[in-house]
Amino acid sequence: MGITSCAKNEPEDAQELVVLDLPAIAYDYSNLNLPNHFTFNPPGAPLPGSVLGIDNTPADNPVTDEGATLGRVLFYDKKLSANGTISCASCHKQDKGFSDDAVFSVGFDKGLTSRHSMTLINARYYQRGRFFWDERAATLEEQVLMPFQDPVEMGMTIDRLISTVKAQPYYPELFQKAFGTLEVTEDKISRALAQFVRSIVSQSSKYDVGRAQVPGPQMNFPNFTPEENLGKNLFFRPIAAGGAGCFGCHTTEAFVSSAAGPHNNGLDERSTNDLGAGAVFPGPQFVGRFKTSTLRDIEVTAPYMHDGRFKTLEEVVEHYNSGIKNHPTLAPALRDMNGNPVRLNLSPAQKSALVAFLKTLTDPSLATEAKWSNPFR
C-alpha cells in the first residue's frame, strides 16, 4: 500500500509530495519466531542461554504488526525534528546495526551528541528495562520520546511533536489501524515507537546456524572455521579456565547483560568529563558505569564504547586483553584474585580468533529487511 500525500501545514505551491511505501498487509513484527536455542538453557551451563525472563516488553504494550508499522514511520520521519532534517534513523542507521558510524551523531542544528549512538538491536532483552548509556530512562516507552526533546538532537517539545504528527495527512490511517482511534497522543507515539524498536531482534547469524546444530554453545560448530571455533571457545570459557570470560558480561543467546545495572569496564583510571550512571543515580559507586550493550551485529556498529573511542574490534579486544584501567568502580569480574585489573595475556592468534568469532554474530537480514527500512520514498 502506497500512501501519497502533501503536508497540510505547507502552502499549496510549496507542498512536498510524500510517498510512503507500506505493504497492503502489514509486515509481521509480532511473531519473533525465535530459534529453539533462544528459549532453552543447555544442561549444566554455568550461565543462562535462554532469553526467557529478560524481555522488558510491558503487558500493556505488546508488539503488534500495525503498531510497529506506525512506529516505523515515526522512526524515519524527518518532519518530527525542529527543522525537518533529522529523524530517529539519522542516528540509528539500519545498515550500521541501528547505530551510527560517526563517533558522535549530528543533530538538527549541526550540534554533536555527547555520546556515541547505542545500537537498538535486542533492546527488548534487558530485564531491568532502563535505557541510554547512563540508564536515565526507566523504560523504552520513556526513552523513545527523549531524543525529540533534546536541544541538540531534534529540538522539539512534546506539544510541537504532537501537532506536527497531526499535521501530516498520512498519520490518521496509521493511528486508526494501530490503536483503533484517530487521536494522536504522547502515549500512542511512545508506544508505537517502542513497538518498532522491540521488533528489531538479531537471530539469523552464522552463529545461529551453527548453534542450532549442537546441544550447547561450548561445543565446536560444524559451520565454523577452526579460528572461529577457537574464538568462540575463548569467549565462553571463564578467565580462570584459560578463556577470555566474555560470556560473563554478555550472556544469553541475545548476548546482553543479565546482571542488573550499568557496569564499569575499565576504560579510564578516573571519570572526568562523563560520570556515566554517576550523574543519574546517587552514590559514588555509580560513577564511570555504563549500560552493557548487546554484542549481536557488533561487526557493523563501529566505533565502540559510549564515547566511540575504539575504531575496530581489534582495539576492543586489546582493551580487555591488556588495557583495563583500575577505576574505583571497576566491575569485579574484571579484577583478578589480587584486586588488580585482569590481564588476559592472549596471543596474537587468540585475539584474532576472538574478532573472527564476534563477526559470526552478524545477522545480515537486519541491514536489508524491508520491514525495518525507510518507508519514505
pLDDT digits (tens, 9 = 90+) for 97-141: 999 999 999 999 999 999 999 999 999 999 999 999 999 999 999
What average pLDDT does the chain have? Answer: 94
pLDDT digits (tens, 9 = 90+) for 219-245: 999 999 999 999 999 999 999 999 999
Q: Smallest Cα–Cα separation from 290: which of 313, 309, 312?
A: 309
| Residue 7 in this model has a pLDDT that exceeds 60 | no
What is the reported pLDDT for 44? 74
Which percentage of the chain shows pLDDT scores above 70?
Answer: 95
pLDDT over threshold 70, residue 12: no
Tell me the pTM: 0.95
Which residue did the predictor score with more confidence, 136 or 7?
136
CB 256 within 8 A of CB 126: yes
Q: Tens digits of per-residue pLDDT, 188-208? A: 999 999 999 999 999 999 999
Q: Grid coordinates standing for 145?
A: 520520546
Q: Rg (Cα) of the chain, in Å, rounded?
A: 21
pLDDT tens string 278-330: 999 999 999 999 999 999 999 999 999 999 999 999 999 999 999 999 999 99
Give the 3-state DSSP-derived string for the chain, with helices as H, strands as E and coil as C: CEEEEECCCCCHHHCCEEEEECCCCCCCCCCCCCCHHHHCCCCCCCCCCCCCCCECCCCCCCCCHHHHHHHHHHHHCHHHCCCCCCCHHHHCEHHHCCECCCCCCECCCCCECCCCCCCCCCCCECCCCCECCCCCECCHHHHCCHHHHCCCCCCCCHHHHHHHHHHCCCHHHHHHHHHCCCCCCHHHHHHHHHHHHHCCCCCCCHHHHHHCCCCCCCCCCCCCCHHHHHHHHHHHCCHHHCCCCHHHCCECCCCECCCCCCECCCCCCCCCCCCEHHHCCCCHHHCCEECCCCCCCHHHCCCECCCCCECCHHHHHHHHHHHCCCCCCCCHHHECCCCCECCCCCCHHHHHHHHHHHHCCCCCHHHHCHHHCCCEC
Stretch 236-261: mean pLDDT, rounded?
91
Residue type, 149: Q
Residues 330-351: pLDDT tens digits? 999 999 999 999 999 999 999 9
Q: What are 65-101's pLDDT values in tens digits? A: 999 999 999 999 999 999 999 999 999 999 999 999 9
As a whole number of angstroms, the distance between CA 319 and CA 261 comes to: 22
Q: What's the confidence (pLDDT) of residue 93?
A: 98
Domains in the chain, please, with CATH? 2-201 (1.10.760.10), 206-359 (1.10.760.10)
- End-to-end alpha carbon distance in the chain: 13
Q: Flag whether pLDDT at 11 surpasses 60.
A: no
* From 62-66, 255-259, 335-339, the region with the lowest mean pLDDT: 255-259
